[in-house]
Structure 1
Amino acid sequence: MSAAEPTILATSGGHRVGTRTRLLFDALVHHAVDLSGVHGRRPRVLYVGTATGDAEHVTARAAEAARAAGFDLTPLYLFPMPNVEDVEGTVLDQDVVWVMGGSVANLLAVWRVHGLDAIMRRAWRAGVVLAGVSAGSLCWFEGGATDSFGPGLRPFTDGLGLLPYGNGVHYDSDPGRRPLIHRLVAEGAFRTAHCTDDGVGLVYRGTELVEAVTELPGRGAYLVGREGDGAVEERIEPRSLPTPRF
């Protein structure tokens, strides 16, 4: 089972605190599974925690969340070495790849050393849904604003570029991101930037943005383009996703 065409869900959400578990997969992760078209069996989700240095406690919480959601979760570790013999085969065998947040600069450096950047591109073309939160959103784009290099936000322009835009994550909760994204677009670092408030995701078929969706009320998505020497912003009202039942 695979998506009908290359599909990416780029988000600033997907997780919430559970009552009996530390973490639950919220509506955006479930929507990534829906986009894959899987039915008649348990969805296969690859969890990639490179951006957190493959922190075992984070992976353990994701495994708990997958159990509660009814997903078969496979973690892909790259520290201290890949935990599977056939990395490409493992990725291509999934319905969804979910990439955790953290350091996007470190994530991509490690992916490139192991050839995972090229594998993700092949998986995307093969119909595996690529998805993730924060750094797991930024990585699919040309770049955006990141705190990978320290507490202050800095430009990042070395993304995979599957999506030919800049990306702004946590647009409502981190006040420094909006002005930096506007500056990068005004200066021509990105032709346009696609941005998400917390809880919002952007759905792409191929490289075309087809829909904004949200798991939280009142949140928005934004398109930032260049006008003259400055940047202009257009708000997109996302479609509300149903809250998963456990």
Structure 2
Amino acid sequence: MPAEQPTILATSGGLKEGRHTFWELSALSTYAVDLAGVSGRAPKVCFLATALGDNEAVLARLHDAARVAGWQSSHVQLFPMPNVPDVRAHLLEQDVVWVMGGSVAGLLAMWQLHGVGEAMRAAWEAGVVLTGVSAGSICWHVGGTTDSFGPDLRPVTNGLALLPYSNGVHYDAEEQRRPLFESLIADGTLPSGYATDNGVGLVYRGTELVEAVSEIDGKGAFFVERAADGTATETRLDVRAL
């Protein structure tokens, strides 16, 4: 069942420690299913852990979390070869595509190699809800800040650009994130964009931000834009509690 229009929920959250499993899907992830409008059956959710090298333990834990949530889960892996004959066709069969964090630079390189970006665009345009955490948030945007290259954060600028903005994740949790995001926007390396504290997600319909939502009280979302004088200005957004 496709969403009414192309929908992305880009987050700095979506997972929590499980009671009987390693992880459980938290409120941001269940909201992605709500956005897909599924009713009367188990939602079909496809996981991608490309950013962690398709780590089998991670994928198994995500499938366990989906089982607890009552979801019908699958995954797409690219190492050592794609596990499905047609990635595009598989993604188009889903209600939600959920992308795990890790190395966004590695994710984008592997996706380009296997044409996953084009498949994601087709799924997004067809109304499959795209969501994910960290690298699984930045990837939908033009770029953002990443530790893909080492402990000193650097920009990544070759995102899928389904959304014409930059994206800052873990804004309150890693001290380098906020100043670097602002400086990259100020100097034009990144376009103006949106940032999320841990536990916060950004809901886009088409390419427009329609709301910021949070699974943790008191957390923030921000719009950072380049000013005429070459500095960056930050505006705190309204955040709705889930």
TM value normalised by structure 2: 0.98
- Structure 1 residue aligned with 2:199: 199
Equivalent pair of 1:181/1:193 in contact (CA under 8 Å): no
SS at match of 1:203: strand
| Aligned alpha-carbon RMSD (Å) | 0.7
- Structure 2 residue aligned with 1:244: none
Structure 2's unaligned 5+ residue stretches are: none
- Structure 1 residue aligned with 2:235: 234
Structure 1 residue 191 displacement after superposition: 3.0
Structure 1 residue 86 displacement after superposition: 2.0
Q: Distance in 2 between matches of 1:220 and 1:213?
A: 9
Residue 107 of structure 2 corresponds to residue 107 of structure 1: yes
TM value normalised by structure 1: 0.97
Q: Distance in 1 between matches of 2:238 and 2:173?
A: 17
- The AA in structure 1 aligned to 2:75 is P
Structure 1's unaligned 5+ residue stretches are: 242-246
Structure 1 residue 221 displacement after superposition: 0.2
Q: Counterparts in 2 of 1:153-232, with a 5 A limit?
A: 153-227=153-227, 228-232=229-233
Structure 1's consecutive aligned runs of 4 or more residues displaced over 4 angstroms after TM superposition are none
- Structure 1 residue aligned with 2:43: 43
Q: Deviations over 1:129-171 (max 9, x none)?
A: 0110000000000001000011110011111100001100000
Q: Distance in 2 between matches of 1:229 and 1:62?
A: 43
Structure 1 residue 75 displacement after superposition: 1.1
Q: Percent identity?
A: 59
Structure 1 residue 237 displacement after superposition: 2.7
Q: Distance in 1 between matches of 2:13 and 2:158?
A: 23
Structure 1 residue 12 displacement after superposition: 0.2
Equivalent pair of 1:9/1:130 in contact (CA under 8 Å): yes
- The AA in structure 1 aligned to 2:129 is V
Q: Distance in 2 between matches of 1:84 and 1:226?
A: 42
Q: Distance in 1 between matches of 2:67 and 2:61?
A: 10
Aligned length: 241
Q: Distance in 1 between matches of 2:138 and 2:12?
A: 10
SS at match of 1:10: strand
Residue 139 of structure 2 corresponds to residue 147 of structure 1: no
SS at match of 1:30: helix
- The AA in structure 1 aligned to 2:135 is A
